[in-house]
Structure 1
Amino acid sequence: MGSQVELLVTPAKALVDDKVDITVERLAPRQPVTLHARLVEGTARFQSYAHYRADDMGRVIVAKQPSLGGLYTGVEQMGLFWSMQPSPGQKPGLRLRKKDVSTPFLVDVRVHDGHLDVMREENLPWLTTTTVERWYLGDGVKRIPVREGRVRGTLFLPPGDGLFAGIIDMYGSAGGLAEYRAALLASRGFAALALAVFAYDDLPSDLFSIDLDYFEEATEWLLSHRNVQNHGVGIVATSKGGEIALSMAAHMDKVAAVVAIGSYSAVTGAPLPYKDTVFPCAPFLLEKVVETKEGYLDIRNGVDTTKEPGIKACVQVEKAQCPIMLVAGEDDLNVKSVFHANQAIARMRAHGKTNHTLLKYPGAGHLIEPPYTPLCGLLYHTVYRGCMFLGGEPKSHAAAQEDSWHKILDFFRKHVDGRAQSRL
């Protein structure tokens, strides 16, 4: 029977934020099977599995039939992707992160007979298998390394010679350069600059040496590009990047819209110079960090913006002329992101501002990424040299990622894309 079983995944090649249909055919009626997905990225190995029972016609249609067990239950069309976990035996704190966007995630999907726990089994027999390509970089998207003045990063341009809405994409306190979200934004029609903040190329090696002028230079460079609309940039930024994005919105008139994900409402860790001013910081309170017996860190109480000097460090978001979207997980164990989002909104409201949106998600953790990305609830942080809790429950976090991503894209289309604005 094994040679007759068919596994269909369509489309077999797609962007990571596209859904796929998974169907198994030619099983015996009511046959129990395990669907098993695996991928390897560098030295990292991730996998997931779910238990299904064929219908009376010998079929499993993942988008319509419930998983009966495994890493998720219920009807979850993309469950095999968002429920992935590091394979057993790897270092704690592993994060699935695409480092080379010129290649896809290659996901091997297998069908096993019976309901099995496959996580620790390497060589189980299978009935059929296929490989799925999951891309951040769409067909025809151009990838252009950037070394212009002080600006360091990678520009992604959609196919064609049009004037595209410009987006700056930043991450947080881990430093380096992450390209995957910017590549996906370009695949969805934006000119996206993955901007390095520190610890990349000849940029400062730590957060204590960065200044806001650098981000203004990046903004001006992107707006001057011949393929980018020149009226203003959007910014999407996570964690430490979010507080920089809010600071840019408060003090730069060329910022058209900001999305801050899992962000503080204040400058944290180190003062932030800008022109002739130095914005003070909320210091990191090491005595408030909790360490578990395993050595894992809970840092969510490490910054206090309810009393001085934290209050003075709060970003002057009330000065922002552009719309601001704050994305926060209620189970964020890294930053009290719902608290900080509400703190920023209270400041705007106190000045009569209504240019704010809060996307608040129960059960979501710190790293709210593009859809169908596995939850990273525990992260090894290169700067802290330890594992820290990020929080989140896989199913709820997956729902937050799917909902927020489409709202972020719509937000930028509405507020940054001049072509869309002209059609309104």
Structure 2
Amino acid sequence: MLQIVRIQCRKMSTQARLLVSPATALVDDKVDITVERLAPRQPVTLHARLSEGTARFQSYAHYRADDTGRVVVAKQPSLGGLYTDVDQMGLFWSMQPSPGQRPGLRLRKKDVSTPFLVDVRVHEGHVDVMGEENLPWLATTTVERWYLGHGVKRVPVREGRVRGTLFLPPGDGPFAAVIDMFGSTGGLAEYRAALLASRGFAVLRALAFFAYDDLPKEMVNVDLHYFEEAADWLLSLPNVQSHGVGVVATSKGVEIALSMAAHMDKVAAAVGISGYTAVTAAPLRYKDTVFPCAPWVPEGLVFTEEGYVDVRNVLDTTKEPGIKAYVQVEKAQCPIMFVAGEDDLSTKAVFFANQAIGRMKAHGKTNYTLLQYPKAGHLIEPPYMPHCALYYHRVFDWCMLAGGEPRSHAAAQEDSWHKILSFFRTHVDKNNTQSRL
């Protein structure tokens, strides 16, 4: 859909025209932004803003119209602002908290039944618009960015012990099954699961395992049977392929996903993003075995002058019981993909991924893939989401460093997302259609 906004230019005798296509799309879709009917070589500032609850984010970039009075964002370079050079989606991934927002603010969609509403404006000249609310504008429009695609069903889940949300694509299926998990902040974040379902998967998310509903308030012991029960329930649904599930997890969730892959033959593929490959924070139980967790090393904490925390070195996996805490990934029969940023300041993701791959190689395994990204940080999200270098961790009550350089991190998000989709289509979806790319 093409949305055209014609607004009488302030301070000009002509009309600028702002074109956005598509004006309604999923968050991992690119959009084309064009400004027309400017004066030749006219300097302008493109400004994007969005609100989610009380959170306010914005970005801006400086452009100069060509000789015909046009700015085509996908073809012309930004000359300044929050990013430079040619970048079609720069206005989206470069967003930052507006001035005055609390430290550690992270943009996460809390209600996937509504879109992010991104207000895009064109301003006269090259100006710094951060924090400015009432600057004159030449043209404006609002873009809808959705995680939940048209026709995707959202179903709250309370089955036995399992708590979470099921997302089902439109149609009868049978759909490939995926379980989606995050980390040690607990609760239920649904946005990635909704987007995966919008790309054709039946997704159980965000499989909550503590700090949600009637589940334990704190992460004391992690029972792998809980996740097995969830996988069995998901695979039993009539519109879901029954041969096996894919599992995708971030941070603390990665060790659970890898443990599922190591000990359950119903796992068809696993993706671990920015996580440990050892059991951390709480022991892991499965059948008659208790897998110990790596010891916490308080002196490994590093505080910045602002009071922010670098937690990369708080685990000791160099001696017992830390060595025994490593997940036995060499037992996994399914393919495993590791996604790691080289500048992750929350986990030593590259180190832990290579440790796991080393174990697999030592046992003659080749069922691994490593996506390693220079200058990428911890929070590798779906594409075009703002880079978050600092985030508030509500369990620890700290602002934690995540690392990463914005443009490189954005590139990692875009590349890894499409490879994750392809990975699951190849190894989990027996229909293996490419029609939902």
Q: Structure 1: how far apart are the matches of 2:317 and 2:349? A: 12
Query: Who is 2:156 aligned against?
Result: 145
SS in 2 for 1:202: coil
The match for 1:236 among 229, 235, 248 is 248
Offset, 1:293: 2.0
Q: Does 1:361 pair with 2:373?
A: yes
Q: Could you tell me which amino acid in structure 1 is paired with residue 43 of structure 2?
A: P
Offset, 1:204: 1.1
Q: Structure 2: how far apart are the matches of 1:397 and 1:197? A: 29
The match for 2:386 among 366, 371, 374 is 374
Query: Who is 2:75 aligned against?
Result: 64
**Structure 1, unaligned runs of 5 or more:** none
Is 388-397 or 286-295 further displaced after alignment? 286-295
Give the length in aligned residue pairs: 421
The match for 1:189 among 182, 190, 200 is 200
Q: Structure 1: how far apart are the matches of 2:256 and 2:401? A: 22
Alignment map for 1:304-343 (pairs within 5 Å): 304-343=316-355
Query: Who is 2:284 aligned against?
Result: 272
Q: Deviations over 1:98-118 (max 9, x none)?
A: 000000000000000000000
Q: Does 1:130 pair with 2:146?
A: no
Offset, 1:96: 0.2
Offset, 1:219: 0.6
Alignment map for 1:222-301 (pairs within 5 Å): 222-301=234-313
Q: Could you tell me which amino acid in structure 2 is paired with residue 157 of structure 1?
A: L
Offset, 1:197: 2.1
Q: Structure 1: how far apart are the matches of 2:319 and 2:43? A: 58
Q: Does 1:201 pair with 2:197?
A: no
Give yes or no for contact 2:147–2:195 (8 Å, CA) kept in 1.
Answer: yes
Offset, 1:207: 1.5
Q: Does 1:213 pair with 2:221?
A: no
Q: Deviations over 1:327-362 (max 9, x none)?
A: 000000000000000000000000000000000000
Offset, 1:307: 2.2
Q: Structure 2: how far apart are the matches of 1:358 and 1:36? A: 36
Query: Who is 2:132 aligned against?
Result: 121
The match for 2:105 among 88, 94, 108 is 94
Percent identity among equivalent residues?
79
TM-score in terms of structure 1 length: 0.98
Give yes or no for contact 1:38–1:47 (8 Å, CA) kept in 2.
Answer: yes
Query: Who is 1:109 aligned against?
Result: 120
SS in 2 for 1:96: coil
SS in 2 for 1:117: coil
Offset, 1:162: 1.2
Q: Could you tell me which amino acid in structure 1 is paired with residue 296 of structure 2?
A: F
Q: Structure 2: how far apart are the matches of 1:52 and 1:134? A: 24
SS in 1 for 2:109: coil
Q: Deviations over 1:19-74 (max 9, x none)?
A: 00000000000000000000000010000000000000000000000000000000
Structure 1 runs (4+) greater than 6 angstroms displaced: none
Query: Who is 1:414 aligned against?
Result: 426
Query: Who is 2:4 aligned against?
Result: none
Q: Structure 2: how far apart are the matches of 1:383 and 1:87? A: 25
**Structure 2, unaligned runs of 5 or more:** 1-7
SS in 1 for 2:59: strand
Q: Output the aligned Cα RMSD.
A: 0.9
Q: Could you tell me which amino acid in structure 1 is paired with residue 429 of structure 2?
A: D
Q: Structure 1: how far apart are the matches of 2:297 and 2:256? A: 20
Alignment map for 1:156-175 (pairs within 5 Å): 156-175=167-186
